[in-house]
A and B are shown apart, each in its own frame.
Chain A
Amino acid sequence: AQSVTQLDSHVSVSEGTPVLLRCNYSSSYSPSLFWYVQHPNKGLQLLLKYTSAATLVKGINGFEAEFKKSETSFHLTKPSAHMSDAAEYFCVVSDRDYKLSFGAGTTVTVRA
Chain B
Amino acid sequence: GAGVSQSPSNKVTEKGKDVELRCDPISGHTALYWYRQSLGQGLEFLIYFQGNSAPDKSGLPSDRFSAERTGGSVSTLTIQRTQQEDSAVYLCASRQTGVQGDTQYFGPGTRLTVL
Task: State whether A98 touches B106 (Cβ < 8 A).
Answer: no
**B-chain residues with CB within 8 Å of residue A40 when the two chains form the complex:** none
**Interface magnitude class on chain B:** 20 to 34
**B-chain residues with CB within 8 Å of residue A49 when the two chains form the complex:** 102-103
Task: State whether B102 touches A99 (Cβ < 8 A).
Answer: no
B65 interface hit (Cβ, 8 Å): no
**B-chain residues with CB within 8 Å of residue A43 when the two chains form the complex:** 91, 106-109
- Given known contacts A49-B102, A49-B103, A51-B102, A98 and B95 CB-to-CB distance under 8 angstroms: yes
Q: Considering the chains assembled together, what is the distance between the CA atoms of A51 and B99 in angstroms? A: 11
**B-chain residues with CB within 8 Å of residue A89 when the two chains form the complex:** none
**B-chain residues with CB within 8 Å of residue A105 when the two chains form the complex:** 42-43
Task: State whether B33 touches A99 (Cβ < 8 A).
Answer: yes
- Given known contacts A43-B109, A46-B103, A49-B103, A102 and B48 CB-to-CB distance under 8 angstroms: no
On B, residues with C-beta under 8 Å from A are 31, 33, 35, 42-45, 48, 50, 56, 59, 91, 93, 95, 101-109
On A, residues with C-beta under 8 Å from B are 32, 34, 36, 42-46, 49, 51, 90, 94, 97-105
